[in-house]
Amino acid sequence: MHPYCCIPSIYAHILNGALMLIAFFMLYKNYSKISNLEPYKLISLTLLLSLTVGIHGLSHLGLESKYNFNPMA
């Protein structure tokens, strides 16, 4: 049994990554509609995307510092 299999933050991190991947796919598929949005909605969407990526990055930092988990190593 892998040592990371029972850590809830690992599951939350994986779910967050999967949801981000789905969101990027949906943005890609609907780019023509999104590019025609009014500026306020584009700014809001950009900020939401920025928050999502930032939180995912903080999750990486927490996993590396707490559990010495580095998926790139």
Are the C-beta atoms of residues 69 and 59 closer than 8 Å to each other? no
pLDDT digits (tens, 9 = 90+) for 16-59: 999 999 999 999 999 999 999 999 999 999 999 999 999 998 98
For residue 4, the model assigns a pLDDT of 66
What Rg, from alpha-carbon coordinates, does the chain have? 16
More confident residue, 9 or 24: 24
